Amino acid sequence: MDCADIAVVILAAGLGTRFVGDKLMTPLGDLPLGVHIGRTVSDMGFGWRFAVCRPASAISVHYADLGFQIIENALPGAGQAHSLHLAVEAARATTVQALMVTLADMPFVPESHLKAIAHAGVLTASDNGTANLPPALFPRESWPDLLATSGDRGGAALLGSARIVAIDPAFLRDIDTAADLPASK
């Protein structure tokens, strides 16, 4: 599938309760942590770019500057599934054929991995050797199943049957606590 036929979403509305401070605005190299995935996907030619953020989130400005349409999640405590529902509803208003889901706290995912997932054209997930997880591609026909999800596991239940694209687990590492930051290793 061509990237122009795909909407990409960055899920950035999580509460980050295990991290002290604004996790996505924490410096990682020369950028805020949450901006890394936005920079990676912003020039890949996706038909639509969405970022689901908490209202008045500082990271929203950075995504808007990169050309993302901001979708406010006024209920971040409702879990990742609620953010996915908002993304699916936004994507349904377009002509795209699939939704690529990325996470704002996964700053190390390379463009080559995202391209491999996009070109699969079917339900596809990343594989870190122990689990299927985002970034993941959800074709339009899977969106009703995404809308039926609930809680903080989001679309994880759907990814068990997904085609997988393996990658070194270091690239799929997410930042949940300050100890997960490279400088703290």
Q: How far apart are CA 135 and CA 117, in angstroms?
A: 8
- Please report the pLDDT score of residue 185 as a whole number: 38
Residue-number span of the structural domain to which 155 is assigned: 3-184
Q: How far apart are CA 173 and CA 103, in angstroms?
A: 11
For the chain, the domain total comes to 1
- Please report the pLDDT score of residue 171 as a whole number: 96
Tell me the per-residue pLDDT of 7-60, one tens digit each, with 9 for 90 and over.
Answer: 999 999 976 556 656 789 998 999 999 999 999 999 999 999 999 999 999 999
CB 53 within 8 A of CB 73: yes
Tell me the per-residue pLDDT of 130-176, one tens digit each, with 9 for 90 and over.
Answer: 889 999 999 999 999 999 998 877 788 899 899 999 999 999 998 77
Q: How far apart are CA 134 and CA 140, in angstroms?
A: 17
Helix (H) or strand (E) holding 134: strand 132-139
Q: How far apart are CA 77 and CA 141, in angstroms?
A: 27
Can you give the CATH number for the domain in which 179 is found? 3.90.550.10
